[in-house]
Amino acid sequence: MNFGQIVTAMVTPFDERGEIDFAATENLINHLIANGSDSLVISGTTGESPTLTLEEKVALFKFTVQITAGRVPVIAGTGTNGTRESIELTRHAENAGVDGIMLVTPYYNKPCQEGLYQHFKTIADTTALPVMLYNIPGRSAVNMEPETIIRLAEVPNIVTVKEASGNLEAMAAIIDSTPDNFTLYSGDDGLALPVLAIGGAGVVSVSAHVIGNEMQSMIQNFKSGNLQEAAQQHRRLLPIIKEMFSAPNPSPVKAALNLKGVAVGGVRLPILPLPEANLQTLKNVLNLHKATVL
């Protein structure tokens, strides 16, 4: 399964009552497909998965598969910090017709490396779907070592990893020691270009909600050998990427989408709406970027 270069970790739109807004979700899906997204991750952290019920997740899986209608692959976030629960959610995702699943490192319970290996292998063995591993020590409080990822790459349907450790040395080791058909994606928007430079496949992105086409252009320039232009584009995009993480995700990106006329509503507690000071800075950065592009 080829997930492309830009995999967008999609927000979950909510209505004024805090329920999933499926009309807004359809609009968002079409916006993302038209603006640089090669694949979509649904019910990940950016999709506020910790606040979604099982029933909401399954409904979101089914709806997204229906609306994408095969235009782009759909990857369902089915990883939890319980192996059995992850297997159950994966089964629902497979029945919904998704194209792959993303499994995050188990948070809070801090398993050892062998525990991580057994967790991911056990889940992968229950499904025919391609599996994207997700290493994010900053949120899960456990780091999956390169050696563990390299071992897991031997499992036939574990095909890729979203690496959000920020450790380029570890990423290089993973790329160097896994099969050619195993891919690595940056889990940090600001490292998309550096990760490409060491052999990565692309980025699982939050910022692509608002700068997806620009990120695609940067990647195409890099792959075409226009390295100076790609580097300039990277530097121009960094201020927006910085603002996308000026407050807990996905508060800033939801605010940015609402400002751009792509209505996605607010966030669920314990995440708070973007503070007014941050919102003004975000408006200024978006306006400056728009003027620069024009």
Tokens encoding 114: 């062998």
* Angle at CA of residue 62, ends 181 and 133, nearest 5°: 30
- Of the listed 57, 62, 107, 134, which one is catalytic? 134
Looking up tokens 């782009």 gives 72
Structural domains in the chain (count): 1
The answer to the question of residue 287 being in a domain is no
Catalytic annotation on 134? yes
In a domain, residue 44? The reply is yes
- CATH code of residue 184: 3.20.20.70
Is residue 294 predicted with pLDDT exceeding 60? no
Check if the beta carbon of residue 250 is closer than 8 Å to that of residue 271: yes
Could you report the per-residue pLDDT of 68-111, keeping only the tens digit for each? 999 999 999 999 999 999 999 999 999 999 999 999 999 999 99
Segment 140-186, tens digit of pLDDT: 999 999 999 999 999 999 999 999 999 999 999 999 999 999 999 99
CA geometry: angle 232, 233, 238, nearest 5 deg: 100
Name the phi and psi angles at 88, rounded to 5: -60, -45
Whether 175 is in a domain gets the answer yes
Domain contains 220? yes
- Amino acid code (one letter) for 125: D
In a domain, 139, yes or no: yes
Q: Note the pTM of the prediction, 2 decimals.
A: 0.97
Cβ neighbours for 245, distance < 8 A, ≥ 6 positions apart:
206, 252
- Name the residue type at position 188: D
pLDDT given at position 289: 85
pLDDT at 293: 60
The first and second tokens of residue 264, run together, are: 């996605």
With bands split at pLDDT 50, 70 and 90, how would you rate the model's confidence at 33? Answer: very high
Distance of CA 191 to the CA centre of its chain: 14
Question: Is residue 162 annotated as a catalytic residue, yes or no?
Answer: yes
User: How many C-beta neighbours within 10 Å does residue 197 have?
Assistant: 15
Tokens of 266: 């607010």
- Report yes or no on 45 lying in a domain: yes
* Domain annotation covers residue 256: no
Instruction: Choose, from 57, 117, 162, 254, the residue flagged as catalytic.
Output: 162
Q: What is the pLDDT of residues 240-291, one digit of tens each?
A: 999 999 999 999 999 999 999 999 999 999 999 999 999 999 999 999 888 7
Q: For residue 36, give its domain range.
A: 6-226
Residue 162 covered by a domain: yes
Q: What are the helix (H) ranges across 109-198?
A: 113-124, 137-140, 146-152, 168-177, 192-197
